[in-house]
Amino acid sequence: MPDDDNLPTAAAVTLRAPPFSPLNPSMWFAVLECGFKASKITNKLTQFTHAASFLPLDVLPQVADVISTAATSATPYEDLKKCVLSSLQSSTATRLKELFSKDELGDEKPTDLLRRMKLLLGDKYSTFDPELFKQLFYQRLPTATQNVLFCIKDNLAPDAIAKLADDFVATVPTQHVSSVSSASTQDNTQLALLTQLVSQLSTEVTSLKRQMQDHQRPRSSTPQQRQYRPRSPTPQRRQQRFRSRSPGLCWYHDNFGSKASKCDPPCSYAASNEKGEY
């Protein structure tokens, strides 16, 4: 039976490769190897030749060293695969950082978002914490969708959550879903404005209270007012002012006689009047 090395043209005609995916090269190699098996291509150099011919031109410079030694290598295909994966496939830490920093759903369907997150993890998805992955996916859904799925999400797998989320998003206007996803940012902006307004009003109220207190507080006399304030007569002056000029009569009867409305004893006006002296 002839070896497959003698039939490169026939193998090349029957082999079909998927478009190369730089985001998930390990998946691309897996599909390519299925094609090798279906076409019964087992020779390593032939596998290398097919794989290298399917690589994009921008990837070839990254594997130039492997290409230059392929003819003399015992495992040229494995060398090419290892070099491509190490060059293009992000490290686990880098992929986790990207996974945690991704934005919300945006214009994607929930199932598209889930598929992208799985591709981002690549071959690490099977060993990634399933509960953490589900929570990361759930947090990237619009707020309205999260509220609907909150009570049942713990009992569903990510694929089931994505399917239900697709159905819900399809029944809600796109503008409403987008506005809900950005509601948190708008609420924070409005809260900041309200806080600023309350602070400004508090300052104005405090200023008004201070002005009212200053207005109601009794003002102290100025030195000029204290200088020209009329003094109350002393007891001695009052005594001199109301001293009678006639002996025995009070000041009132001395000045007003019978028309006096008051009498300041001791006063002899009443006794003298009976005698006819006044």
234 pLDDT above the threshold of 60 = no
Would 227 be classed as within a structural domain? Answer: no
**Lowest-confidence range among 32-41, 126-135, 228-237?**
228-237
Tell whether 251 and 272 lie within a shared domain: yes
Q: How confident is the model at residue 253 (pLDDT cuts 50, 70, 90)?
A: confident
Structure tokens at 37: 């098996």
| End residue of a domain, out of 53, 88, 123 | 88
**Lowest-confidence range among 78-82, 136-140, 180-184, 212-216?**
180-184
170 pLDDT above the threshold of 80 = yes
- For the chain, the 3-state helix, strand and coil shares in percent, each to the nearest 5, are 70, 0, 30
Would 231 be classed as within a structural domain? Answer: no
Would 207 be classed as within a structural domain? Answer: no
Closest CA to 277 of 268, 266, 259: 268
Tell whether 84 and 110 lie within a shared domain: no
Angle at 116 between CA 114 and CA 120, to 5 degrees: 115
| End residue of a domain, out of 34, 67, 88 | 88
pLDDT recorded at residue 277: 56
The stretch 21-49 carries a mean pLDDT of 89
Domain carrying residue 121? 92-181
Tell whether 174 and 124 lie within a shared domain: yes
Tell whether 72 and 99 lie within a shared domain: no
Would 68 be classed as within a structural domain? Answer: yes
Q: How confident is the model at residue 257 (pLDDT cuts 50, 70, 90)?
A: confident
Task: Compute the chain's Rg from CA coordinates.
Answer: 53
pLDDT recorded at residue 78: 95
pTM above 0.75, yes or no: no
229 pLDDT above the threshold of 50 = yes
Closest CA to 108 of 131, 132, 142: 142
Would 191 be classed as within a structural domain? Answer: no
The DSSP secondary-structure symbol of 108 reads S
Would 232 be classed as within a structural domain? Answer: no
Would 240 be classed as within a structural domain? Answer: no
- Counting the structural domains of the chain, the total is 3
177 pLDDT above the threshold of 80 = no
Number of Cβ within a 10 Å radius of residue 95: 18
132 pLDDT above the threshold of 70 = yes
Top-confidence residue, 146 or 274: 146
Q: Percentage of residues in the chain with pLDDT exceeding 70?
A: 63
* Rounded Cα gap, residues 111 and 136, in angstroms: 14
| End residue of a domain, out of 132, 161, 181 | 181
Task: Evaluate whether 43 touches 4 at the Cβ level (below 8 Å).
Answer: yes
